A and B are shown apart, each in its own frame.
Chain A
Amino acid sequence: MCPACLMRGVLEPSDSELASRFLSETRSLASDKHFDSMQSVGATTPFADLDPGARMGDYRIVRRLGRGGMGVVYEAEHVPTSRRVALKVLAQSLDQPEARARFLREGRLAASINHPNSVYVYGTEEIDGVPTISMELVDGGTLAQHVKRLGPMSIRSAVDAVIQIIDGLAAADERGVLHRDVKPSNCFVAADGTVKVGDFGLSISTTGGQLNSMSEVTIEGTFLGTPAFASPEQLRGEPLDRRSDIYSVGVTLFYLLTGQVPFDADNMIHLLATVLDKPAPSASTIRREIPAELDAVITRCLRKPQGERFENYDALRAALKPFSSESPVAASLGDRTLAGIVDAAICQCVLAPVSFISQYRGDLARDFGPTQSSGAIALGVLIVGLTIAYYAVAEWKYGYTIGKKLFGLRVTAEGDRPTVSQTIGRAFLYLGVPVIPSTLFNLVYVSRDSTEFVFGPAMFATLLVGWSYFILKFGLFVTARSCNGYAAIHDRMTSTRVLQRLPDVKRIAAEHDQDATERDSFDFDPNAATIGPYHQLQTLFERENEQLILGYDARLLRRVWLHVQPIGTAMVPAAVRNSTSQTTLRWLGGRRSETECWDCYEAPTGQPLIGLMKSVSCARAIRIMRRLVPLLTEQPRPPETPDSSEQHATTSDVAKLPTLRQLWVTDLDELKRLPFEMAEDRTEVNAGDDIEVPESSLQPAEPLPLIRRVAAIWLGADHGPASNCHSWSLGQHDAMLQVAAADEVACATQILNAVDQDRPLKLRSRVLGVVAISLAFPLMTVMFGLFAAALYESQKDRYPEIDQLHEVAQVLAREERLLTAERIDRVVAVQRYVAGKFAHVLEDKDTMNSIYAITRLTPADRIAIGQAIDSQQPTPDELREATNAYQALRQDWLEDPGDQVQISFSFWTALGPAYTWLEFIWFPSLFTGLLFRGGLLIRMFGLVLVNRRGKRASGLRVFIRMFFSGMLVLTIAIGGAALTFSSASAYWSQFSIQMGVIVSLVLAAATMVVVPLLRGNQCLSDRFAGTYFAVK
């Protein structure tokens, strides 16, 4: 075989044009056999590997941990302080300025992020000309190692891990840092299970300013990253934004769940081809138990166009939350009711045409009546069936209907999405069963004249059937209790639950964040006095022998705290220096010499605990308290040190409880224990504190008094419902009271854990919900009134016979009343007239069953007319005679109509809603207020009424409050009625009275809506009675 030809065969492009182009463009492609899509691309050959025991400046290498994007990472010991760190050493020759710049940039970018889910950077230094970064040592391995060792993770733990990654990346994103190399092997697991994002080796800054020029060390069009985890745009070398990191997060989650990456290939070309063209496989094809909804979240992360992925980390976190291990919160009945109303309204609107057809059989004026036909019943069943289908499909496919989505609810079946049979079952029990009695009733009596059900004893049966709907529907909820997660009967039977979709815990407040960014990017004076390598910015406090200075690390561009102590103070204990605990302020360095004695610590954003507790919301106070209890009770065990004297000092120092002044709350509500006391105004600290706690740190304090003190500080400040209405719940407030008086730490812990701290309070919407439902009743009256009026008018024109019949009935009634022996012929004449002229009308069911006929002809009228028709069969002559006689009698009746009450229909349309509201809402609320301190509606929305001090309002106060709430409407109703019937109506026309009533009612209703909308926790009547709505 000719060698040249063999060689040519080798060089012949074997795959595609793309392949050969790629080959010529990228240097490393020839080494396809080394291709590993799971490895970082970007690093070049390191020149030397440091062996264990080797010295590098002040560091002693312990072992190699791995290789990052830019260098080798060692576990190393900082010899002067014996602190273990992860030391990253640039693995390139120094004559590559771009690599060096990138390396230093990594340090700065990573150092700008101080977040529990991000690996902390202690500092950067150049050792013998080699740049190094010393980082927090996270020794629990990486997520990749976990998956390799233990196989794919459980869905919950994978999602939990990814949510932590998201938190870390979001913190970076807030600083304008893109990671660009997110993958399981860059996610480190701490001993306590916290996942931290590390290796910002390829990260770039997206913000302007100082860092911007540095991002140019990455040449556009060059690929850097890890192929299997890189987004399509990253593989193409295009400009990136956070959605590229979101893609990598998606791949990471895919990997954690399945142990595989969605796209893999044995060389770059194949990988490129698949990543750029093929849609990502679904994770559930590899692992069946992955719920389709989670699958959809992953798929959305892996979309090729950036715009189709999640827009930001908050959205992604919210989408993942349902699969995390955070305990679900049951939806309140109030929210469910509101969601049900919305869904019902939607179905009504959509199905209105069908519904209309079922009632409308040709003529609006003629055909609205109680007569049932089998067709109408079938259509009714169809409507219910369609509604069931809407519920079942929506809950099965998405876990929520539109109404549930609006109110943040979700249907689950034991943590998973419900199956289709479960959702059909739910919907049938909730929607189908209640209509069964009426449907059966209608079917049985379909052929009967429904008039007999409208009048007479059968009416009760009709009513009962009508009420059975409500009994069956609302009876489903009798089992719902707060202790069983408000499980209604249909929830129980299908083993599903309706849960609150978890809210995102409010992250750093926007203004906070703004401050932090501004603070960090200020222009510092390079000539300012320095302590060690740090520039002094500002003295935070100064005591007789110590000083805390805000310093600036010009190399890492971040702020630090410098704690200056008198010369000769002992070194900070090793336990503090080495601590990687989130609750210890990180020690970054320090110096003890004859002229200097200072320590450098991280400068976390936040506030001292004492100051914060005075102004913080109840939910946040409880969150902080929950973290405070373990901090105070679980003492960190100091590591064994050979030096016994140091050990002694360490033990005693660490075992000592911190004073309250030594506690700091970060913006993320993490508690940090400071190694010094923050200055704080002494007088305010003691406000509202009746428990004497030795302030001096010399005396070892007990955890319990400290906990009680913190609770007392919170309670001491003004946290009444009046000042803090949006984050105040009675349960949380009561818990704080209990904690302030707790006897044991365990008891306090139990109380704190029992409080539902993260539940969204949504106070304003709950109060508005109460108002909305209470107004819904009168509104329904208005709607019904308007509809009836319209129908009434149209039927009045349509059925002139009814009016005539009405007259006849009146005349007949009058004659029967006046009946004497000689006037008997008059009655007979009227009866003959009726029988002759109206027999066919009475047989016409449509006419007789029309609403107009029902309102115009009383049951007595009908009976009288029916008897008349039965008793007389007049001949035409008799009829003619009777007609003439009737005309005369009609004239008599018109001249003397008797004490007949003429119903003024329009009057009732105006005041009707007011009466409905007073009767069904206000009146019962007076009793329930007095007896139960709040009515059904308030209870349903999980609300209570409290007084100014935050205690539950007394029954009398609630009664007064309720009484006030009805005053306005009551005045209008009484005044309106009085004006209408009194002789004073001479001054005002009926119309102006009507308008006046309507306008004042609308104004009253508007007040009921507007006041809580503005106040949040009060209605107008609460302003008078001094009560506040609060979440239970």
Chain B
Amino acid sequence: MKDPLNQPSFETTRWSVVVSAGQEDSKLARDAMEQLCRRYWFPLFAFIRRRGYGESDAEDLVQAFFVRVVEKDVFAAADQDRGRFRTFLLTSLENFLANEYAKSTALRRGGGNKLLSLELRNADGKRPHRIADGGRPEDEYHRQWAIAALSAALETVETEYERDGNAALFSELRPYLSTDGERKPYALVAKSLGISPTNVKVAVHRLRKRYRRQLESEIASTVESPEQIEDEIRQLFQALGG
């Protein structure tokens, strides 16, 4: 309904823009690319694991895949119809795995190149999410992708609330974001926060809105046009089994 090009936010984070800028090897673009990859590292990892690779192999493969992506301008190859980052990345990964399989080698991946810093374990060395058993690897990939997007958005919002000194508010209101969250009556929350129930209601409303926007912005960077955002959200919801 509106002209998205007037929106710098979309202009600069659109993944194809990032990628094409990346060809010029600017530091900024590289950083953005790295961020994208880090965010969606785990879905790729999960996909490879569900294809039957071992954990360390899977880690190496993801690493190699990213190196290849950055190095070989894989993104640039799919110039005409890039579509969504999610599907594009999956297709690329499948091609990559097929090639790797053909070569029957898991060696020398990324040898000599600067590795992307992709440390995705928690402090205790645990993966942030469980990889589900059963189902097709693709489904698991999409599911993990959705989880990654949701978490990234949640994290950003949380950081923002913390930055504004509203960490307590966020932790109190966080359950209301989810339909299964233990939603205490507003009065209770109001009491613990020391504000009126109406204000709690407003705050919840704001948080939901903020979160939705953040999610949209998160997703916006993986689709080609703003019209696709809504659809992407629905697809991710389906991927989560909703």
Q: Which of B3, B5, B233 is the most central at the interface, judged by chain A CB atoms within 10 Å of its CB?
A: B3
How far apart are the CA atoms of A9 and B220 in the complex, in Å?
A: 19
The reply to whether B230 and A27 form a contact with Cβ atoms under 8 Å apart is yes
CB distance from B149 to the nearest CB of A (A): 9
Q: How far is the CB of B25 from chain A (nearest CB, A)?
A: 21
Is B187 located at the chain interface by the 8 A CB criterion?
A: no
Residues on B with beta carbons closer than 8 Å to the beta carbon of A2: 178, 180
Question: Given the interface contacts A6-B177, A33-B217, does A23 sit within 8 Å of B230 by beta carbon?
Answer: yes
* A5 & B180 in contact (Cβ 8 Å cutoff): yes
Nearest chain B CB to A746 CB, angstrom units: 51
Interface flag for B2 (CB, 8 Å): yes
In Å, the complex CA distance between A105 and B65 comes to 51
Selected interface stretch from A36-44, A600-608, A654-662: A36-44
CA distance A29 to B150 in the complex (A): 20
Closest residue of chain B to A226 (Cβ to Cβ) is B2
B72 / chain A contacts, CB cutoff of 8 Å: none
Is A900 an interface residue when CB atoms closer than 8 A count as contact? no
Residues of B within 8 A of A986 (CB): none
Cβ distance B19 to chain A, nearest Cβ, rounded Å: 18
Q: Which residues in B have their C-beta under 8 angstroms from that of A67? A: 3, 5-6
* B227 interface contact, C-beta 8 A: yes
Minimum CB distance partner of A28 in chain B: B1
The answer, yes or no, to whether B9 is at the interface (CB within 8 Å) is yes
A5-B179, A5-B181 as given contacts; A31 in contact with B241, CB under 8 Å: no
Tell me which residues from 32 to 72 in chain A have a Cβ below 8 Å from any Cβ of chain B: 32-36, 39-41, 43-46, 67
Decide: A30 and B180 in contact? CB cutoff 8 A.
no
Given A9-B177, A28-B226, A34-B9, is A45 in contact with B4 using a C-beta cutoff of 8 Å? yes
Q: Give, as a whole number of angstroms, the nearest-CB distance from B228 to chain A.
A: 9
Q: How far is the CA of A798 from the CA of B226 in the complex (A)?
A: 97
Q: How far is the CA of A4 from the CA of B239 in the complex (A)?
A: 9
A1 interfacial contact with B, CB 8 Å: yes
Q: Is the interface of A mostly helix, strand, loop or mixed?
A: helix
Interface centre among A31, A33, A41, A67 (most CB of B within 10 A): A31
In the complex the two chains form, what is the Cα distance from A27 to B220 in whole Å?
Answer: 14
Among B147, B174, B180, B217, the one with the most A-chain Cβ atoms within 10 Å of its Cβ is B180
In Å, the complex CA distance between A859 and B237 comes to 112
Interface check A239, CB cutoff 8 A: no
Task: Tell me whether A223 is interfacial, beta carbon within 8 Å.
Answer: yes
Counting CB contacts under 8 A, is A3 at the interface?
yes
Bound CA span A10–B212, Å: 6
Residue of A nearest to B143 (CB): A3
Minimal beta-carbon separation of A223 from chain B (angstroms):
7
Q: Which of B6, B215, B234 has the most chain A CB within a 10 Å cutoff? A: B6
The answer on a CB contact under 8 Å between B1 and A14 is no
Contacts of B15 in A (CB 8 A): none
A12 CB-CB contact with B under 8 Å: yes
* In the complex, residue of chain B having the shortest beta-carbon distance to the beta carbon of A40: B3
Q: Is the CB of A10 within 8 A of B233?
A: yes
Name B216's contact: one of A30, A39, A41 (CB within 8 Å).
Answer: A30
- The 8 Å CB contact of B226, one of A3, A7, A30, is A30
Is the CB–CB distance between B150 and A32 below 8 Å? no
Q: Within the assembled complex, what's the spacing in Å between the Cα atoms of A28 and B146?
A: 21
The answer to whether B226 and A34 touch across the interface, beta carbons within 8 angstroms, is yes
Cβ-defined contact, A14 with B226, below 8 A = no
Q: How far is the CA of A35 from the CA of B10 in the complex (A)?
A: 12
Q: Which residues of B contact A41 (CB under 8 A)?
A: 1-3
A5 proximity list for chain B (CB < 8 A): 178-181
Please tell me if A219 contacts chain B, counting CB pairs below 8 Å. no
Q: A27-B230, A31-B220, A32-B216 are in contact. Are A12 and B3 (CB under 8 A)?
A: no
A17 CB to nearest chain B CB (Å): 16
Interface-central residue, B1, B5, B179, B211, by most chain A CB under 10 Å: B1
Q: Which of A14, A28, A40 contacts B205 (CB under 8 A)?
A: A14
- Kindly state the separation between the CA atoms of A9 and B215 in the bound complex, as whole angstroms: 12
In the assembled complex, the Cα of A8 lies from the Cα of B154 at a distance in Å of: 14
Contact of A4 among B10, B205, B240 (CB under 8 A): B240
For B171-192 the 0/1 string (1 means CB < 8 A from A) is 0001011111100000000000
State whether B1 touches A26 (Cβ < 8 A): yes
**Contact of A478 with B by CB under 8 A:** no
Q: Could you give, for residues 97-137 of chain B, a 1 whenever the CB lies within 8 Å of some chain A CB and a 0 otherwise?
A: 00000000000000000000000000000000000000000
Is residue B213 contacting chain A, with contact meaning CB distance below 8 A?
yes
CB-defined contacts of B181 to chain A, threshold 8 Å: 1, 5, 9
Residue A1014 at the chain B interface, CB threshold 8 Å: no
Q: Verify B242–A8 contact, CB threshold 8 A.
A: yes
Number of residues of chain B lying within 8 A (CB) of chain A: 44
Task: Check A11 for interface membership: any CB of B closer than 8 A.
Answer: yes
Chain B positions within 8 Å of A9 at CB level: 176-179, 181, 208
Q: Nearest residue in B to A49 (C-beta to C-beta)?
A: B5
Shortest C-beta distance, B154 to chain A (Å), equals 7
* B194-217 contact mask (Cβ, 8 Å, vs A): 1 or 0: 000000000001001101110111
How far does the alpha carbon of A268 sit from the alpha carbon of B3 in the complex, in Å?
Answer: 14
Complex alpha-carbon distance, A913 and B5, angstroms: 83
CB-CB contacts below 8 Å: B1-36 with A: 1-7, 9-10
Say whether A27 contacts B178, CB under 8 Å: no
For residues 155 through 185 of chain B, which have their beta carbon under 8 Å from a beta carbon of chain A? 174, 176-181
Give the complex CA separation of A10 and B210 in angstroms. 10
- Decide yes or no: A8 and B178 within 8 Å by CB, A30-B229, A31-B216, A36-B2 being known contacts: yes
Q: Which of B3, B150, B174, B216 contacts A7 (CB 8 A)?
A: B150
Looking at the assembled complex, report how far the CB atom of A267 sits from the nearest CB atom of chain B, in whole angstroms. 9
From A1, A4, A29, contact of B242 by CB (8 A): A4
A202 to chain B, nearest CB (A): 13
Interchain CB contact under 8 A, B2 and A14: no
Using Cβ atoms and an 8 Å threshold, which residues of chain B touch A34?
A: 2, 4, 6-7, 9-10, 226
In the complex, the answer to whether B208 meets A33 with C-beta atoms within 8 Å is no
| CB neighbours of B215 from chain A (8 A) | 10
When the two chains form their complex, are residues B150 and A6 in contact, meaning their CB atoms are under 8 A apart? yes
Q: Does B236 sit within 8 A of A, measured CB to CB?
A: yes
Nearest-Cβ distance from residue A12 to partner chain B, whole angstroms: 7
Does B87 lie at the interface of the complex (its beta carbon under 8 Å from any beta carbon of A)? no
| Contact call B6/A36, Cβ cutoff below 8 A | yes
Residues 771-790 of chain A, each 1 if its beta carbon lies under 8 Å from chain B, else 0: 00000000000000000000
> In the assembled complex, which residues on chain B have CB atoms less than 8 Å from the CB atom of A268?
1
Assess the B5–A45 pair: CB atoms within 8 A.
yes
Q: B178 contacts which of A6, A29, A31, A223 (Cβ < 8 Å)?
A: A6
Which listed residue, B1, B179, B229, touches A8 by the CB 8 Å rule?
B179
Asked if B92 is at the interface (CB within 8 A of a chain A CB), the reply is no
Evaluate contact between B236 and A7: CB separation under 8 angstroms.
yes
Whole-angstrom distance between the Cβ of B62 and the nearest chain A Cβ = 21
- The residue in A8, A9, A27, A40 that gathers the most chain B C-beta atoms within 10 A of its C-beta is A9
Asked if residues A30 and B230 are in contact (CB atoms below 8 Å), the reply is yes
Determine whether the beta carbon of A28 is less than 8 Å from that of B179. Answer: no
Instruction: Return 14 A-B CB contacts under 8 Å, by A number.
Output: A1-B174, A3-B151, A5-B178, A6-B177, A7-B146, A7-B240, A9-B178, A27-B1, A30-B226, A31-B10, A36-B2, A36-B7, A39-B6, A45-B5
What 9 A-B pairs are tightest by C-beta distance, nearest first?
A28-B1, A30-B230, A5-B180, A31-B226, A4-B240, A5-B178, A6-B178, A8-B179, A34-B7
In addition to A9-B179, A29-B1, A31-B227, 12 A-B residue pairs with Cβ atoms within 8 Å of each other are: A3-B150, A5-B180, A7-B237, A7-B240, A30-B226, A31-B2, A31-B216, A39-B3, A41-B1, A44-B3, A67-B5, A268-B1
Interface residues of A (CB under 8 A from B): 1-12, 14, 23, 26-36, 39-41, 43-46, 67, 223, 268
Footprint of A on B, CB under 8 Å?
A: 1-7, 9-10, 143, 146-147, 150-151, 154, 174, 176-181, 205, 208-209, 211-213, 215-217, 220, 225-227, 229-230, 233-234, 236-237, 240-242
